[in-house]
Amino acid sequence: MSVSIALAAGGTGGHLFPALAVADAVRRLQPDARLTFIGSSRALDRRLLDARGVDVAATEVVSFAGAADIPKTAFRLAKAVKAADAVLEGRTIDAVLGFGGYPSLPPLLAAAKRRKPRLVHEANALPRLGLANRIAARTGAEVWGGFATTGSEIRGGARHCGVPIREDIAGADRPGLRAEARRRFGRSPDGIVVLVVGGSLGARRVNEAIAALADAPAAAGIEFIWSTGADHYPGLAERFDKRRTMHLAPFIDDMALAYAAADLVVSRAGASTVAELEALGVRAVLVPLAIARFGEQDANARALVARGGAAILPEPELDADRLARVIADLLREQEPPPAPHHGRAAHELAARILERAGQRR
């Protein structure tokens, strides 16, 4: 009889994309394993999950960090845990693997109540786990981390496997794909190409700086592939889409080709993006999200800068002139070597959750 595994994640691409990478790895290792995704009903989440044929069970998302009305929040969390528990029972879930974020906590707590095996993966490079993972760890969940510094403050530490990334990205031959990638995105074969990625929702400050840079003399000779985010796309497309130097999209599905086309990336510093950049050896200008609650994007960015070939440009200092100088400096550097451990992380986590699910039988 096949095992049944729940993946608990959602709310942001940083939680969802590692979960999708592990789901693919589980299917490669054990094709008859049954997978259920328990998380948010965000439109982007559903589009990506539906494309992979993953069974989805959305539960109420309870944001409890800094909640002012504690009794109301506790009631909503208890209600969400009850709903998640019904999913675990109805689909005979054997084990739960959580990836952080508020949607992941109810199924992890429900699994703890039923004494089912539980793993959590913390992608960010912070010594302290995110709140949902921290609570899950205190209930006995096994903790895995994306970077060497991840979870170093928790008792017993974390097992470090890297950040699970998509197989097509992990195995991408950037030099071999370069010519095809540039044709696909309409970029010059030998020009300078900068890829701009603001995360799954886009990044207003990054977009504003790129828009200003595109109109500046310093951008002469640079071509862009620009993932704007869906909300930002209409206005930016109206302004730039007819420019030969610009390829705009609200969201880029084929990131392996986008990375292959690029000489350098300008991006936020979410853990998944940083892991992809490190895995492929891409130069990068990182603009950590200034309002990140615990400075997790700063920590991720520092991990990439330590590797070489990357620079941090704090959001308050972000403007077209400074961005142009940092890009020019990085383009004079050699590309850093690829780091393979992130490419193995999905397989390692998949093998472990399958092992724990099998022990439940």
Residue 102 is predicted with a pLDDT of 84
Residue 61, pLDDT above cutoff 70:
no
List, for residues 285-336, the tens digit of each pLDDT value. 999 988 766 789 999 999 999 999 999 999 999 999 999 999 999 999 999 9
Nearest in space to 77 (alpha carbons), one of 112, 43, 107: 107
Residue 168 is predicted with a pLDDT of 92
Please state, rounded to an integer, the average pLDDT across all residues of the chain. 90
Phi and psi dihedrals of 94, rounded to 5? -95, -30
Percent helix, strand and coil across the chain, each rounded to 5?
45, 15, 40
Give the integer Cα–Cα distance in Å for 295 and 269. 10
If you search the block for the tokens 């200003």, which residue do you land on? 212
> Could you tell me the domains of the chain?
4-160 (3.40.50.2000), 168-340 (3.40.50.2000)
Which H or E run contains 39? strand 34-39
Nearest in space to 10 (alpha carbons), one of 78, 59, 51, 53: 59
Looking at the chain, the whole-number percentage of residues with pLDDT higher than 90 is: 72
Angular region, 53: left φ>0, alpha ψ -120 to 50, beta rest? left
Q: Is the pTM higher than 0.85?
A: yes
Give the integer Cα–Cα distance in Å for 188 and 178. 11
Looking at the chain, the whole-number percentage of residues with pLDDT higher than 70 is: 90
Whether the Cβ atoms of residue 137 and residue 154 lie closer than 8 Å to each other: yes
List, for residues 187-244, the tens digit of each pLDDT value. 999 999 999 998 666 689 999 999 999 999 989 999 999 999 989 999 999 999 889 9
